[in-house]
Homo-oligomer: A and B are copies of this chain.
Amino acid sequence: MRIAQIAPVWYPIPPTGYGGIELVVSQLTEGLVKQGHDVTLFATGESRTDAKLSYVFDEAPSEKIGQVFPDLYHALHAYERAEEFDIIHDHSGKIGPGLGFFSPTPVLHTLHGPATEDAKTLYKALSKKIYFNAISNYQRECYGDLNFVGTIYNAVDLDAYQYNSKKDGYLLFLGRMSPQKGAHVAVQVANKLNKKLFLVTKITEQHEKKYFEEQVKPFLGKNSEVVGEVDLKTKIDFYRHAECTLFPIQWPEPFGLVMIESMAVGTPVVAIRNGAVPEVIVDKKTGFIVNDSVDEMVEAVKKVGSIDPNDCREHVEKHFSTKRMISDYEKAYEHILELEKSKKL
């Protein structure tokens, strides 16, 4: 199959630091190449891939994130070549799928973001022409009636995320420095338990700096340590040796890659019930799901010794492996091509 993968333009593929969507796009692209497909990745010039790389920006225009021009210029370049492919898989935000509406080649758009009212209205209009997949059933319900071909969970590369059953005594928070991700809650939990906490986080944008200065930094215990963005290997090491990962999510996260990364190496997750969390963690078996309070998280952390690291790993092997994700997307592409064929009859 001649497949185009359109990545978001804001970070390289794979990401050198922060970038959940970018990691998924990378896994999927490399997996499809290994399956023997003819894959073209539309990303930025410094991306690394075994697919054919096509780009208009040598470097990711991260400093212009959210602006129209980079997003549009990147998507335009991809869709200009639409006729060269059997299917186009678009992971970019709104402008990409907007152009995809006029594509002669069928387009699948993976919903990576939250179902805001604006997003719902736009995607509903695009649904007349393009196909969608959700990344969790929770997200799918939020979006309602779109032209869905299914729910396909994100995945983790089990070869890279090596299992480790021997844990050190620290807690781990991993995520952007944003109130939505709940670093301030993680800090309180660590303080109450008097435990070491590593915060592996991105603090680059103005609002991230403001939140950190005002709501996190003043409360950091002497055992807490803020680590900046790290490379993949270092990140995996943080996961592998943590007693547990805290996922104090403060908004309805549509998936939550952190949870499967953690469980993959055998590290349980203590998470707040929100968004897709109950679809990803098996409560009391691969971690604990609590309601929205610091005290409940504290109590749950005290019990993580009861979780078998092997159960965490097995859960990811079964439901969140890249092998499963790639196979699901291949099936979705084939399904779309069948639907398009029957339309033409």
Query: Which residues on A are within 8 Å of B, measured CB to CB?
Result: 67-69, 71-73, 75-77, 79-80, 93-95, 98-99, 101-103, 118-119, 121-122, 125-126
Contact = CB atoms under 8 A, between A and B. Distances in A.
Nearest to A103: B102
Contacts of A103: 102
A29 to B, nearest CB: 24
Contact of A68 (B77, B80, B93, B102): B93
5 contacts: A76-B101, A95-B95, A98-B99, A99-B101, A99-B102
A73 B119 CA distance: 10
**Count of chain copies:** 2
A125 B68 contact: no
Secondary structure at the A interface, as helix, strand, loop or mixed, is helix
B79 A102 contact: yes
In the A-B complex, list the 8 residue pairs whose CB atoms are closest, starting with the nearest.
A102-B102, A69-B118, A72-B98, A68-B94, A73-B122, A72-B94, A76-B98, A69-B122
Nearest to A77: B125
A277 to B, nearest CB: 28
Contacts of A98: 72, 75-76, 95, 98-99
Contact of A95 (B72, B80, B121, B125): B72
A176 to B, nearest CB: 21
Contact of A99 (B67, B80, B99): B99
Contacts of A122: 69, 72-73, 76
A121 B67 CA distance: 15
Contacts of A119: 69
A135 to B, nearest CB: 21
A142 to B, nearest CB: 17
Given A95-B95, A102-B99, A125 B76 contact: yes
